[in-house]
Amino acid sequence: MTEPLRIAYAVAEAYPWCMTGGLAEVSGALPQALRESGAEVSVFLPLYREVKRKVETSGSLLVDTGAKSGVWLGPHYIEGRFLRILGPQEGATGSGAPGSDVPTYAFDCPVLFDREGLYGHPDDVARFSTFCRAVLDCSTELMAGAPDVFHVHDWHTALIPVYLSGPYRDRLPNAASVLTIHNLGYQGVFPNHELLVAGLGWEHYTIEKMEFFGRINLMKGGIATANALTTVSPRYAQEIQSSLFGERLEGMLATHKNKLSGILNGVDTQAWNPSTDPLIPANYDINSLDGKTACRNSLLESARFDTWDRTPVFGVISRFARQKGIDLVAEIVPWLAQRGVRLLVLGQGEAALEEWLRYLERQFPNNVRVRFAHEPALAHAMQAGCDAVLMPSRYEPCGLGQLYAMRYGTVPIVRAVGGLLDTVVETPVSQVGDGQATGFRYHEDTTAGLQAAIDRALSVFYTAPDTWRQIQLNGMRQDFSWDRSAGDYIEVFQNAIARRRA
């Protein structure tokens, strides 16, 4: 009998313990899907202050494993230990995440991680390089055997492949590394002297490895040394090899394209299920959308809008960043108001965008409501209650919002990039009955392109309600579970192992 793959899943954030975006959502679901595919998986993340708070408020426990790791940072020896997160329902045997039996280990090093905010600290190289080395030091002990694969994510853990190609090569000679790029826009670029803080020699400071315009680039180091690379959608894997989306790493990625593949993200189909979701006022399914009408009315009431008319309700659930095209939405608010659209916006981010949205909310009190927060319960309510969601991203590695929307019978209107192009299909109205059409999309990064897509959507919404309903049902029939994607990851892991051992 073949032994199951042993996978150390090292990540900077994972739902429900800490979260800034889609990385955490993926890391809250993918490990369990990998386990259900037959792999042995353990999750490793830093013990931030936010994680401690979440553990305390959820009634979970932190149990000392006895596994310790330390490094010299200048004249100071910094030591940390791994604690296992145990959920209240599993007692002393289970994992931390609800509905998961994947062991989760948090690296307790207060001097580096017991502070507000996950990222953006001046000593981030020290913080995440120490965490990466701790995972390499302790994973064999915690997993009762050396991992076959270290699955690492974005720049925060991209040093693990670098260490495996150098300082840890002899200690873990058979362990492969797979780097998943969730967003190439964030690369971990720091002054070059930070290479020494990470415990690496100058031999790593080369154009083929970590040197990046006179600085070091942690993501680049991971790309150069990982045994396999993945992105979170097939389209994004192609796009990042071009100058338009490559963020100055397109040449590096093209060089390593033979080990690069795109695997579409899935969604947690238990947490995001309109027929059972406890966070929405009425449940519904593909056989009856009556509950969606109740969700729509409840959402409008909570936003202090009238509920009696058929005026379309559009939602935006997003970080407020230029990447997400929030500025394009803001520019067309007067145009949307002329067409009677009511716009509900949830998120937070860049200060200038937040101020612009505050101004628009004051100027268009009959059409715009904005909540400046990260509120999962409201995100569920909006996905259930809105008629459509807007995602005008300038680039989008995968996107989860459009997948959630389709699960809830909410029509996505998206820019045709990355995972949005992979998942949202627009067809001529006459072909909607073929079951392919799931939304509306546009190609140009302009307000005119976005407006044209919205106009097509409004035309169907106002004049062809049966066609609109068919688009909703088409979306609800899509399978975006992790089952298929987990199988694709297992194949990548096996190829990475073969490449490492060759």
CA distance 225 to 219: 10
pLDDT digits (tens, 9 = 90+) for 230-256: 999 999 999 999 999 999 999 999 999
From the CB of residue 358, how many other CB atoms can be counted at a distance below 10 Å? 13
Task: List all residues 6 or more positions away from 293 whose beta carbon is below 8 Å from its beta carbon.
Answer: none
Task: Using the Cα atoms of residue 291, residue 309, residue 380 and residue 487 in order, give the sign of their dihedral.
Answer: positive
**pLDDT band at 353; cut points 50, 70, 90:** very high
Q: Give the pLDDT of residue 99.
A: 61
CA distance 357 to 389: 17
Query: In the chain, what is the greatest distance between 2 CA atoms, to the nearest angstrom?
Result: 72
**pLDDT band at 310; cut points 50, 70, 90:** confident
pLDDT of residue 105 exceeding 80, the answer is yes
pLDDT of residue 94 exceeding 70, the answer is no
pLDDT of residue 60 exceeding 60, the answer is yes
Q: What is the mean pLDDT of residues 419-431?
A: 95
Q: Is domain 290-476 in CATH 3.40.930.10, yes or no?
A: no
- How much is the mean pLDDT over the chain? 95
pLDDT digits (tens, 9 = 90+) for 139-148: 999 999 999 9
Tokens of residue 326, six digits = 């929030």
Strands 189-191 and 215-217: antiparallel
Q: What share of the chain is helix, strand, coil (3-state, %, to 5)?
A: 40, 20, 40
Asked whether the beta carbons of 392 and 320 are under 8 A apart, the reply is no
Closest CA to 142 of 66, 242, 220, 222: 66
Q: What is the mean pLDDT of residues 395-408?
A: 97
Q: What is the mean pLDDT of residues 438-442?
A: 98
Closest CA to 69 of 43, 103, 46, 52: 46
3-state secondary structure of 187: coil
> 368 forms bridges with which residues in the sheet?
343
Q: Backbone dihedral region of 79: left (phi > 0), alpha (psi from -120 to 50 degrees) or beta?
A: beta
Q: Give the pLDDT of residue 89.
A: 54
Closest CA to 245 of 454, 418, 491, 452: 418
pLDDT digits (tens, 9 = 90+) for 216-230: 999 999 999 999 999
What is the CATH code of the structural domain delimited by 6-266+482-501? Answer: 3.40.50.2000
Side-chain-side CA neighbours of residue 499 (13 Å):
19
HEC readout, 70-136: EEEECCEEEEEEEEEEECCCCCCCCCCCCCCCCCEEEEECHHHHCCCCCCCCCCHHHHHHHHHHHHH
Task: List all residues 6 or more positions away from 388 whose beta carbon is below 8 Å from its beta carbon.
Answer: 312, 313, 314, 315, 405, 410, 411, 412, 413, 457, 461
CA distance 283 to 264: 27
pLDDT of residue 429 exceeding 70, the answer is yes
**pLDDT band at 92; cut points 50, 70, 90:** very low
**pLDDT band at 91; cut points 50, 70, 90:** very low
Asked whether the beta carbons of 227 and 147 are under 8 A apart, the reply is no
- Amino acid letter, residue 312: P
CA 221 to chain centre: 21
- Percent of the chain residues topping a pLDDT of 70: 98
Domain residue limits, the chain = 6-266+482-501, 290-476
Closest CA to 101 of 119, 87, 116, 83: 87
Q: Judge whether 6-266+482-501 and 290-476 match in fold.
A: yes
pLDDT digits (tens, 9 = 90+) for 151-180: 999 999 999 999 999 999 999 999 999 999
3-state secondary structure of 67: strand
**pLDDT band at 348; cut points 50, 70, 90:** very high
Asked whether the beta carbons of 8 and 31 are under 8 A apart, the reply is no
* Contacts of the segment 204-208: beta carbons below 8 A, 24+ positions apart: 204/162, 204/166
**Residue linked to tokens 């809250």:** 28
Q: Give the pLDDT of residue 1.
A: 47
Asked whether the beta carbons of 39 and 4 are under 8 A apart, the reply is yes
Q: What are phi and psi of 223, to 5 degrees?
A: -60, -40
DSSP 122-186: TTHHHHHHHHHHHHHHHHHHHTTS--SEEEEETGGGTHHHHHHHTTTTTTSTT-EEEEEES-TT-
CA distance 100 to 182: 22
CA distance 109 to 77: 12
Asked whether the beta carbons of 182 and 236 are under 8 A apart, the reply is no
Q: Give the pLDDT of residue 129.
A: 98
CA distance 453 to 437: 14
CA angle centred on 210, ends 207 and 212, rounded to 5°:
65
